[in-house]
Amino acid sequence: MDSQAQAARALELFHAGQFQESLDLAQTLVQIPSLVGEMGHLEGACLHQLGRSKEAVASVRRAIAADPTNASYRSEEHTSELQSRQYLVCRLLLEK
């Protein structure tokens, strides 16, 4: 399976509520330069869903630092399933 297919699978796992499995795959894929923004954001979303908010913020910050022009971690479409109050606070903090 190529990296784009694996990234799609990681997102499917997230939407299926399989946060640990999605996290495991995202943590592998975040090492690929073309996926660092998207997978770093997904990693953060998984960590958030697993109750690991501090790690989630750090993960998203790393994704932004590594790929500041990638809008995937700020896309409303991409984050529509992730709209808890705590997650929105994390996003607002990161945008400052």
SS (H, E, C) the chain: CCHHHHHHHHHHHHHCCCHHHHHHHHHHHCCCHHHHHHHHHHHHHHHHHCCCHHHHHHHHHHHHHHCCCCCCCCCCCCCHHHCCHHHHHHHHHHHC
Tens digit of pLDDT for each residue in 3-41? 999 999 999 999 999 999 999 999 999 999 888 888 988
d(CA 27, CA 93): 23
Higher pLDDT, 61 or 89: 61
- In this structure, the number of other CB atoms found within 10 A of the CB of residue 37 comes to 22
pTM: 0.74
Query: Once rounded to an integer, what is the mean pLDDT over residues 76-96?
Result: 51
Crossing angle of helices 36-49 and 19-29, rounded to 10°: 150
Interval 33-79: pLDDT, tens: 888 888 988 999 999 999 998 898 888 888 888 877 766 555 544 44
pLDDT of residue 78: 47
